[in-house]
């Protein structure tokens, strides 16, 4: 079931560096956790927990923890300090606003976008009312707010806000490249893949001019180009970019830098998407084991489960997906949780545990629909439900469900895209189950023609996805032709 469950929300969003916005913009600007912790405890001992100096030290400590990816600790420091600051300093005091922004950033990076958005919006509105609307800190925070909107499935709003930022005169190059990178993500989430690719390339050119070739922002921009190429069905080009990005990021930043983990995750996702599951599996394991980012760890475990499914190891896949669900249960992104439920259901289907899988497929679809899931996620969830219904012999409902999944993908993806081929093949099999070979044959002739072009080297790579769709299309074509020319399944 290679579809929006793998890409979409996943790898392109993670290709973006989450800007350390607000009063602290770069890691170099703040002390280490140990230094910040000593200062905080010294201020507390000297002046008390509610003094302005102590509250400012708490803000610094929270930012230090966040930069060190100790996100839960960062939130545990910022939240009580912010409550105290509201009472003692008032809502518009700079330290109160600093602490509020620290709360918002920690929530956002913990995957709790719905909680982060109103907190950060209040901070931004207060900064603007105080005349700080054009400062670097405010603009970087506005860009991060747009990132949260995109991750919360509100990409149109994000795109509009980023457009306003980019239209401002006198933007610094750093603000411009950050806003352009986030706009690439917003375009992608709207299904505007060609525009996202163009925007990603423009962002990369500017990032290289500003930061040079080995800066995290440059690696982020390169990753976005690679992922956008993959979404356009240009897998070999995508892999070339993503391999080089991962190699260079690890060489320049070290194996445990967050941007290195994201680069490896993006490479692994494209390897999986292009049918190289055996190469992707160890990379997903490495990211899941090494990253301190709960959002990235949940994604790596989820994709590891998909790779294991593609390798026909459903018991191991089930274990990985249950781990992914355990991580994602603690985050507020219910759409990602629904996606992992659906993939767990697929693992159960592969073990012929269809009675357990079917209600889980339905629950995943309901949850994602309630959350307003984007088209690629909804299409993938419906595909999984249709396959499960087919396995249970509920062919009429399976056909209706698979047609809906196909229509959604056809409206968004270019002709011959692997996800369209996959849906055509699955629909053809359920038509054959209902003894309608003529319809199935017409569908498979079109798909086979596209795949022949791929095999001849005229249209993209020969591998299309982890699920052996190429072989399945030709097998279903032969089956359809046989059933049309003979008495159908009884003759076979």
pLDDT, position 179: 94
Average pLDDT over residues 131-159: 90
pLDDT, position 217: 87
Summarize pLDDT for 336-389 with one digit per residue, the tens.
899 999 999 999 999 999 999 999 999 999 998 887 777 888 888 999 999 999
Average pLDDT over residues 187-209: 90
| 212 confidence band (pLDDT: 50, 70, 90) | very high
pLDDT, position 454: 61
pLDDT exceeds cutoff 60 at 278: yes
Task: Answer left, alpha or beta for residue 488, where phi above 0 means left and psi between -120 and 50 means alpha.
Answer: left
Pairs from 45-49 (Cβ < 8 Å, separation ≥ 24)? 49/84
Model confidence pTM above 0.85: no
pLDDT: is 446 or 470 the higher one? Answer: 446
Helix extents (H) in 293-417 = 294-310, 314-329, 334-350, 354-370, 375-391, 395-412
pLDDT exceeds cutoff 80 at 274: yes
Report the number of secondary-structure helices (H) and strands (E) in the chain. 23, 0
Summarize pLDDT for 18-49 with one digit per residue, the tens.
333 333 334 446 788 899 999 999 999 998 98
pLDDT-above-90 percentage for the chain? 63
CA proximity to 16, closest of 164, 162, 114: 162
pLDDT: is 456 or 326 the higher one? Answer: 326
pLDDT exceeds cutoff 80 at 233: no
pLDDT exceeds cutoff 60 at 288: yes
Quick one: three-class SS letters along 441-482? HHHHHHHHHHHHHHHCCCCCCCCCCCCCHHHHHHHHHHHHHH
pLDDT, position 489: 57
Average pLDDT over residues 91-111: 91
| 280 confidence band (pLDDT: 50, 70, 90) | very high
pLDDT exceeds cutoff 90 at 12: no
Q: How far apart are CA 172 and CA 334, in angstroms?
A: 36
CATH of 333-411, one of 2.40.50.140, 1.10.1270.20, 1.10.10.10, 1.25.40.10: 1.25.40.10
Query: Virtual CA dihedral for 196, 198, 204, 205, nearest 10 degrees?
Result: -160
Say which range, 148-152, 239-243, 287-291, 325-329, has the weakest mean pLDDT.
148-152
- Look up residue 223 and give its two tokens: 């990753």
Summarize pLDDT for 48-88 with one digit per residue, the tens.
989 999 999 999 999 999 888 788 899 999 999 999 999 99
Say which range, 48-52, 182-186, 423-427, 448-452, has the weakest mean pLDDT.
448-452
Task: List phi, psi (to 5°) of 200.
Answer: -65, -40
Average pLDDT over residues 303-317: 95
pLDDT-above-70 percentage for the chain? 90
Q: How far apart are CA 193 and CA 28, in angstroms?
A: 35
Average pLDDT over residues 241-259: 93
Mean pLDDT of the chain: 86
Cα separation values, 416 from 56, 373, 374, 454, Å: 56, 24, 21, 9
Q: Furthest-apart CA pair in the chain: how many Å?
A: 91
pLDDT, position 141: 92
Summarize pLDDT for 154-175 with one digit per residue, the tens.
889 999 999 999 999 999 999 9
pLDDT exceeds cutoff 50 at 93: yes
| Contact residues for 303 (Cβ-Cβ < 8 A; gap 6+) | 6, 10, 265, 268, 269, 272, 280, 284
48, with CB counted inside 10 A (0-12, 13-18, 19+), is exposed
pLDDT, position 67: 84
- Look up residue 192 and give its two tokens: 């505007």
| 92 confidence band (pLDDT: 50, 70, 90) | very high
CA proximity to 20, closest of 120, 111, 131, 102: 102
């Amino acid at each position: 079931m290679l579809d929006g469950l793998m890409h979409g929300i996943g790898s392109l969003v993670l290709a973006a560096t989450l800007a350390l916005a607000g009063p602290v913009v770069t890691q170099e600007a703040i002390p280490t956790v140990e230094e910040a912790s000593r200062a905080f405890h010294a201020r507390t001992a000297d002046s008390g927990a509610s003094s302005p100096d102590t509250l400012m030290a708490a803000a610094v400590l929270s930012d230090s923890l966040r930069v060190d990816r100790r996100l839960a600790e960062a939130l545990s420091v910022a939240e009580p300090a912010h409550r105290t600051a509201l009472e003692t300093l008032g809502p518009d005091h700079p330290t109160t606003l600093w602490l509020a922004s620290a709360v918002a950033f920690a929530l956002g990076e913990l995957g709790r976008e719905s909680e982060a958005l109103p907190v950060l919006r209040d901070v931004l509105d207060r900064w603007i009312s105080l005349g700080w609307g054009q400062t670097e800190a405010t603009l970087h925070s506005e860009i991060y707010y747009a990132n949260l909107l995109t991750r919360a499935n509100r990409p149109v709003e994000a795109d509009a806000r980023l457009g306003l930022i980019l239209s401002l005169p006198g933007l610094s190059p750093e603000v411009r490249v950050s806003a352009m990178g986030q706009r690439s993500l917003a375009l992608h989430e709207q299904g505007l893949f060609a525009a996202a690719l163009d925007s990603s390339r423009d962002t990369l050119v500017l990032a290289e001019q500003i930061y040079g070739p080995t800066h995290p922002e440059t690696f982020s921009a390169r990753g976005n180009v690679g992922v956008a190429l993959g979404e356009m069905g240009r897998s070999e080009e995508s892999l070339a970019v993503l391999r080089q990005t991962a190699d260079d990021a690890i060489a320049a930043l070290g194996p445990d830098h967050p941007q290195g983990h994201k680069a490896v995750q993006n490479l692994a996702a494209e390897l999986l998407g292009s049918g190289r599951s055996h190469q992707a599996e160890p990379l997903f394991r490495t990211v899941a084991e090494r990253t301190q980012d709960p959002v990235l760890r949940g994604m790596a475990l989820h994709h590891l489960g998909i790779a294991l499914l593609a390798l026909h190891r459903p018991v191991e896949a089930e274990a990985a997906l249950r781990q992914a669900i355990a991580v994602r249960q603690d985050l507020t992104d219910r759409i990602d949780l629904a996606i992992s439920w659906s993939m767990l259901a697929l693992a159960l289907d592969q073990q012929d545990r269809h009675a357990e899988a079917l209600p889980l497929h339905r629950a995943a679809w309901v949850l994602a629909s309630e959350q307003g899931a984007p088209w690629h996620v909804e299409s993938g969830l419906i595909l999984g439900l249709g396959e499960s219904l087919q396995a249970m012999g509920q062919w009429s409902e399976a056909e209706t469900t698979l047609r809906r999944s196909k229509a959604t993908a056809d409206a968004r993806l270019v002709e011959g895209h692997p996800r369209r081929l996959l849906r055509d093949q699955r629909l053809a099999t359920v038509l054959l189950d209902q003894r309608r070979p003529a319809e199935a044959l017409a569908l498979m002739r079109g798909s086979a023609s596209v795949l022949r072009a791929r095999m001849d080297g005229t249209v993209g790579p020969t591998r299309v996805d982890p699920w052996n769709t190429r072989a399945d299309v030709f097998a279903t074509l032969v089956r359809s032709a046989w059933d049309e020319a003979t008495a159908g399944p009884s003759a076979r």
